[in-house]
A and B are shown apart, each in its own frame.
Chain A
Amino acid sequence: MLLKSRPILAVEDSDQDFDVLEMCLKTAGVLNPVQRCASGEEIRNYFERMERAAASEIPVFVFLDLNLPGIRGADVLARLKRHKTLNPVPVVVLTTSSQVRDVDLSYSLGAAGFLTKPLDLDKFEKMIQHVADYWFSCVKLPENAERAR
């Protein structure tokens, strides 16, 4: 299973932020398809769909914004980590918040990283570049071999 063909999931309610994220990913040379959930309802549907998903449909990693309409970001994170198929997938929190309590809570719920969205485009690009380098070039990601069979 090629990592490059599996999707990246972005849980993001803001269209601009999603737009910028997609652009930054492209700039960083990431060619994976980017799927998006923009609301609590979409997330719930997605979770349901993913329960019967093929290994190729499981995302490589997840960008999670904590502020979402209809559902609390911390709840999404907790449910991701309890999800039948999604639980091994690294979740990187990408949010406006830099509050200590959000940082602490995210890691305790199983986040793999916590990024505060910068206002500066260059900084944003650099940050996404680091993330892509890290996940695709440094570390070994879960393969979902069990489900691939």
Chain B
Amino acid sequence: MRGSAEERITSRNVDLSNCDREQIQFSNAVQPHCVLLAMDPATWRILQVSGNADELGFGPARDLPGRRLQDVFTPSDYQCVSDAARKLRYPAPPLHIGSSTLGGQTRDLFIHINNGSLFLEAERQGAHPGVAQKQLYDELRNGIAQLNASTSVVGFLDQAVHVIARCTGFERVMAYRFHGDGSGEVVAEAVHQGLERYLGLHYPAADIPKPARRLFALTWLRHLPDVNYQPVPLIPEINPVTSDLADLSYVFSRSVSVMYTEYLRNMGVKATMVLTLFKGGKLWGLISCMQHSAPRHLNIEVRAVCEMLAQTSSLLMSAKEDAEFAKYRESLSHSLEALVHQLGLRTSTAEALSSPKVNLLSAMDASGAAIFLGETITLLGQTPSQSAVQALAAAIASKVQPVWSSDLATRDVAMDDETASRASGILATRIGQFDTDLVIWFRPEYRQTVAWAGDPEKLVVRAPGREARLNPNGSFDVWRTEVRGRSKPWLECELDFASRLGRVILEVVVQRSREMARLNQDLSRSNRELEEFVYTASHDLKSPLRGIATYAQMVLRTAADLPSVNRERLQSIVQLANRMDGVIEGLLRYSELGHAVIRREDVDLNEVCEQIIELLRVDIESTRTEIRIPRRLPILRCDLRWVTQILLNLMANGIKYNDKEKRTLEIGYLVPPASTVTGRTGPGILYVKDNGIGIAPDDRDAVLRLFHRLHADQKYGAGTGLGLSIVARSVERHNGRLWIESTVGEGSTFFFTLDE
């Protein structure tokens, strides 16, 4: 015997702790519905037989080893076996070479070669064909057509289990899928009424241990017609050629692991058949058929059809899964394009990533997302609380280089249960120059999203111990414990999506800041140019204007004999030139206001008003306007020059637009009452009030507009249409507010503040 007996785990010493190392291929026994002969393929000398070999009618089993096959079998049977043996490729699953009547029973014969021995299995014919032979091929054809028509992998497997249930008559057929960690999940199920449903059940990796997976991967089909069978040991125990236990890896009638039969017994299963699903040469899943009411032995024809179905299913399913995955990848890349488009349109990155149309969660299989950019946090979907999300971001910030993911975030970051349930899975990508500029996706804990059709109540009812463990409830319980705190794993294409999005956002942000810098440069250049232009233009306009005005005045002086009509026209020229000069001067002021720096200092408004009254003295006296200042004006922090402009323009207007016999102009200051909430007073309000012609409500906005004049040239003296625009802009540059209260025919009050 090779290796030490202590090390080798076989059916004799297997338990839950070591079943992952059980060498099932060395079970050294078969199931009773088959007789096994192991031979030397060169001499056809029989090396070992199963204890039930007497059933073949060649005498007692123990007498067969040492004899040659041609001395035992009929010449035709021997011919059949030896002819087939020449075509064998090794090692490969057993080849069905035909049937023969042996010991009064029809038996199907199978041969294969493994480890230098030729194995012949003679199987009693199955007593329970699923459907009539004639219908079987129709079922197969229709089944494959239906499989082809299904659109999703799960839909496909649902079709597959129903087709197989019809073909075999098994009471339960489940499709079982392996995950990357070796655990598995029932993804489709066809089950008779009254039986417990297992759809959605998850198994821990230990329930289909590695050795079992290895053996499943060797064949398309395994059949256990009677779970409660009595294993039939091999005689002699040791293979005389290899001096070891025979390697029964490919023997389909091999006695199975006691762990497996115990599990099946706990489920109340009497017979099983397991088909394998492969993808790209790897075991992808299983289709597991079960009979609960009685043992069930399927004949080779039905099994062959099932095997074909399993092979076809594997091919079709691989294609379906690839297509589904491709669709997901495609939707990710479409959403990336849409997000990039939005990033281009919107000025705010966070807005672009969270718009209702397309956002971070549109394509990504995640339940929540967060955007950290500068000081702002934007949350989308199902996320932990904002403070928890902030703490998570701070904890992972240094790991995101430029992408970081975890499907067991509780291991990487400290968090409370509430947070963990929503952020078991974290995928993060850098989107800015700082570590904390992140986009984060969240996945909930996986087990909370799993719904098992089974009855979880039984978890508590069953007594602890080995028996309680080896059943679906025990499996689910173990699986739930194993995946505590885990989310569904992040896929390569999702990491790729995150990293590409991060890169794009970084580029957009960098590009945008470059763009801003360029725009700023352009703006300040065009501001300078505009300033130059206005300055030069005003000089070029003013110079000829002064020529016109002064020459007209010279002519007026010297030509004493000029007819009065011409004298008036010359005077008009002078007046018009003056007005145009005023317009140019106003424009200069207005443009200067655009870029002038507001220099605030303590300005005594009483002094300002005195100066303005002095400036306007001629107008005040000629109109006999009474100037009222009800109480001392305050000292305010503002720009002296522009506040003078504001008051000058408002006061000049108040005097000008008045047709009353007794004209008044009031300059005052209001302190608003203190806020009942903060106890602070708002900014003081200044006002200039006249009893003049008033402004109609419809005109109140218009008066503030550039060059907008309400009155004909000569009425109320010609204005430039600039005065109030300059007032409005000066107030605006002080961050103040300007508003008008007026009654037509009674007067107007202009209110303004200088800081809010």
Q: Which residues of A contact B (CB under 8 A)?
A: 14-17, 20, 23, 67, 96-100, 117, 119-122, 124
B553 within 8 A of A: yes
A23 touches B578 (CB 8 A): no
A96 touches B641 (CB 8 A): no
A14 touches B581 (CB 8 A): no
Among A16, A23, A98, max chain B CB count under 10 A is at A16
Bound: A14/B542 CA distance, A: 11
Stretch at the interface among B209-217, B522-530, B533-541: B533-541
* Residue on A nearest B546 in the bound complex, by CB: A119
Residues on the A chain within 8 Å of B74, using CB: none
Q: A17-B546, A67-B536, A100-B641 are in contact. List 20 more A-B contacts (CB 8 A).
A: A16-B543, A16-B546, A16-B551, A20-B550, A67-B543, A96-B539, A96-B543, A96-B546, A97-B535, A98-B585, A117-B546, A119-B549, A119-B577, A120-B549, A120-B553, A120-B574, A121-B549, A121-B550, A121-B557, A122-B553
Q: Is B554 an interface residue (CB 8 A)?
A: yes
Q: How far is the CA of A15 from the CA of B544 in the complex (A)?
A: 10
Query: A122: which B residues are within 8 A, CB to CB?
Result: 553
Asked whether B547 is an interface residue with its Cβ less than 8 Å from the other chain, the reply is: yes
Would you give 12 A-B contacts (Cβ < 8 Å), ordered by A?
A15-B547, A16-B546, A17-B543, A17-B547, A20-B547, A20-B554, A67-B543, A96-B538, A96-B543, A117-B546, A119-B546, A121-B553
Q: Answer whether residue B316 sits at the interface, using C-beta atoms and an 8 A cutoff.
A: no
Distance of A89 Cα from B545 Cα, bound (Å)? 31
CB-CB nearest 8 A-B residue pairs: A16-B547, A121-B553, A67-B539, A96-B542, A119-B549, A20-B550, A14-B543, A121-B550
- CB pair A23–B547 under 8 Å, yes or no, is no
**B540 to A: closest C-beta gap in Å:** 8
Residue of A nearest to B549 (CB): A119
Evaluate contact between B538 and A119: CB separation under 8 angstroms.
no
* Closest beta carbon of chain A to B553's beta carbon, Å: 4
Q: Is B592 an interface residue (CB 8 A)?
A: yes
Residues of A within 8 A of B536 (CB): 67
**Number of B positions contacting A (CB below 8 A):** 25
Residues in B lying within 8 Å of A, measured CB to CB: 535-536, 538-540, 542-547, 549-551, 553-554, 557, 574, 577-578, 581, 585, 588, 592, 641
CA distance A122 to B552 in the complex (A): 12
Give the one of B535, B585, B641 with max A CB within 10 A.
Answer: B535
Is the CB–CB distance between B547 and A97 below 8 Å? Answer: no
Point out the residues of chain A lying under 8 angstroms from B545, CB to CB: 119
Q: Please pick, from B535, B543, B546, B551, the residue contacting A99 in the complex, using a CB distance under 8 A.
A: B535
* In contact, A121 and B578 (Cβ under 8 angstroms): no
Smallest CB separation, B587 vs chain A (Å): 12
Q: If A119-B578, A119-B581 touch, does A14 touch B553 (CB 8 Å cutoff)?
A: no
Question: A20 — which chain B residues lie within 8 A by C-beta?
Answer: 546-547, 550, 554
Inter-subunit contact B550/A16 (CB<8 Å): yes
CB neighbours (8 Å) of A16 from chain B are 543-544, 546-547, 550-551
Known interface pairs A67-B536, A124-B550. Does A99 touch B592 (Cβ–Cβ under 8 Å)?
Answer: yes
Q: How far is the CB of A34 from chain B (nearest CB, A)?
A: 17
**What is the minimal beta-carbon distance from A97 to any residue of chain B, in angstroms?**
7
Chain B residues near A124 (CB, 8 Å)? 550
CB distance from A18 to the nearest CB of B (A): 10
Q: Which residue of A lies closest to B557 (CB)?
A: A121
- Give Cα A23 to B547, complex, Å: 13
Q: In the complex the two chains form, what is the Cα distance from A97 to B537 in whole Å?
A: 11
Residues on the A chain within 8 Å of B542, using CB: 96
* Distance between Cα atoms of A28 and B668 in the complex (Å): 46
Bound-complex Cα distance A119 to B547 (A): 8
Among residues of A, the one whose C-beta sits closest to the C-beta of B592 is: A99
CB-CB < 8 A to A23: which residues of B? 554
Instruction: Please report the C-alpha to C-alpha distance between residue A34 and residue B553 in the assembled complex, in whole angstroms.
Output: 23
Q: Name the residue on A nearest B540 (C-beta).
A: A67
A contact residues around B588 at 8 Å (CB): 99
Among A17, A117, A121, A122, find the residue whose CB has the most chain B CB atoms closer than 10 A.
A121
Which of B547, B578, B585 has a CB less than 8 Å from the CB of A14? B547
A142 to B557, CA, bound (A): 37
Q: How many angstroms from the CA of A117 to the CA of B536 in the assembled complex?
A: 16
Contacts of B547 in A (CB 8 A): 14-17, 20
Residues of chain A contacted by B578 (CB below 8 angstroms) = 119-120
CA distance A67 to B541 in the complex (A): 12
**Hey, which chain A residues are within 8 Å of B577, CB to CB?**
119
Closest chain A residue to B539 by CB distance?
A: A67
CA distance A40 to B581 in the complex (A): 27
Q: Say how far B567's CB is from chain A's closest CB, in angstroms.
A: 15
Q: How far is the CA of A122 from the CA of B578 in the complex (A)?
A: 14
Specify which chain B residues have a CB less than 8 angstroms from the CB of A14 in the assembled complex: 543-544, 546-547
Q: Are B585 and A119 in contact (CB under 8 A)?
A: no
Report B460 CB to chain A, min CB distance, Å: 89
Taken together as a complex, chains A and B put the C-alpha atoms of A96 and B545 apart, in Å, by 11
* CB–CB A119/B550 < 8 A: yes
Closest chain A CB from B644 CB (angstroms): 12
A121 proximity list for chain B (CB < 8 A): 549-550, 553-554, 557
Q: Which residues of A contact B540 (CB under 8 A)?
A: 67
Most chain A C-beta atoms within 10 Å of own C-beta, residue among B540, B549, B578: B549
Q: B551 contacts which chain A residues (CB < 8 A)?
A: 16
Tell me the minimal C-beta distance from B75 to chain A in angstroms.
124
Q: How far is the CA of A98 from the CA of B535 in the complex (A)?
A: 11
Closest chain B residue, CB of each to CB of A101: B592
Query: Closest A-chain residue to B553, C-beta based?
Result: A121
Q: How far is the CA of A100 from the CA of B642 in the complex (A)?
A: 12
